[in-house]
Amino acid sequence: MSDPRIYRRQTAVRRNLAGFRMSFLLVPCYCLLFVGCNPKNLVFDPCKNNPAGGIEQEISHEKKYSANYDKTWNAVRTALEQLGYSTKADPSSGKIFTEPLGISCPVEAGVKSIDITKWYSVVTATVSGPKVRLGVSFQRNHLGIKKNDLVFPEKENEISRDFFAAVDRLLDWTPPVTPPTGGSGTGGKQPPPPPPPKKEQEVKVSPEDNREVVARRLKYTKQEPLLQLSSPTFAPGTIRPNEWMTQTLGVTYLDPDPGKTFDLTAVFVISFGDIQIPMQRKFKDQAQGRMGLTLRLRIPKDIPPGDCTVKSQVSAGGLIENVEGSFRVTP
């Protein structure tokens, strides 16, 4: 009768050899499956750090339409569905929410990828009278670890552009033109002046009061974030073309977690009659408390005299607030 210890050792050796053979066979199988044993045909996790694509052109997140509310509401929901989103509407608040939509990571033709990180975009559209506002955030799932409310300006610009283009088509909307002013050669219509160059725009955030001071002043004890905006001020209140205008408004943001930072997005739409100049800026890792948000803009030299409005939208921590102010341009 054989020794049981010898039998166990022989069995263990046979199992190890079988496992080694299986592992050895899996290597060529994976090569054939993914890249045909050519590492140049493989991209590993191409979207690990941020979603693919996007545009640098800043797209306004707000637009005003002339259609009635019901038609605008239906167009907004249809536009989101045409872009691939599943929607859930809340007519009482005028908001349409979407489920997360996956963002693909394109690679070159003939190249295969191993995708470990998954990206998703989440959209909230708000219909308020004739106005439509869009909020975009991103989610990431990397090896089962999820992060929400991420910000990527270029991809956000692309989504906003495609969304408003779809709404425009559904509502047969065309951009307004400057009213006739006489003259000849152009049929009496004067085209709107181009927006000022970027070097003549400036947006900055300046800390004013820290979280402890603001929380004590507001007696903040809530279990959810708080975002407040003050009424904007303009300096000067009356200005001439080609001069500088400065708008300042206070932004207060508090979160139940005192040490948590936040990303702030500011969207401005400066309207000179039918002429609109949209701007957007993002600020990352801001400290909680009260801060001053300053927009400094040189007034285009061809702007006609009259009252001008600045619509400001600030989003932080998933919250969105809007304020509006006006100043006057004189000859």
Is the Cα dihedral 296, 299, 305, 308 positive or negative? negative
| Distance from C-alpha of 142 to C-alpha of 47, rounded to nearest angstrom | 10
Angle of the 69-82 helix axis to the 153-171 helix axis, nearest 10 = 130
| Distance from C-alpha of 34 to C-alpha of 149, rounded to nearest angstrom | 33
Collapsing DSSP states into helix, strand and coil, what is residue 298? strand
Mean pLDDT per block of 10 residues along the chain (331 residues) reads 60 54 44 48 74 82 86 90 90 91 76 80 91 91 84 89 88 54 42 48 84 90 88 88 90 92 89 79 90 89 84 86 89 81
**Cβ partners under 8 Å of residue 275, min gap 6:** 178, 192, 193, 303
What pLDDT does 190 receive?
A: 47
Which architecture characterizes domain 62-171 according to CATH?
Answer: 2-Layer Sandwich (3.30)
Select from 156, 178, 195, 167 the least CA-distant residue to 65. Answer: 167
| Distance from C-alpha of 105 to C-alpha of 120, rounded to nearest angstrom | 11
**Cβ partners under 8 Å of residue 274, min gap 6:** 176, 177, 178, 179, 192
| Residue reference for tokens 């506002």 | 133
Domain ranges of the chain: 62-171, 198-329
**Cβ partners under 8 Å of residue 14, min gap 6:** none
Check if the beta carbon of residue 268 is closer than 8 Å to that of residue 311. Answer: yes
AA letter at 265: T
Residue 203 is inside which H or E element, if any? strand 201-210
Collapsing DSSP states into helix, strand and coil, what is residue 163? helix
What pLDDT does 123 receive?
A: 94
Select from 83, 57, 74 the least CA-distant residue to 166. Answer: 83
| Distance from C-alpha of 142 to C-alpha of 21, rounded to nearest angstrom | 32
Which architecture characterizes domain 198-329 according to CATH?
Answer: Sandwich (2.60)
Select from 58, 46, 28, 48 the least CA-distant residue to 112. Answer: 46
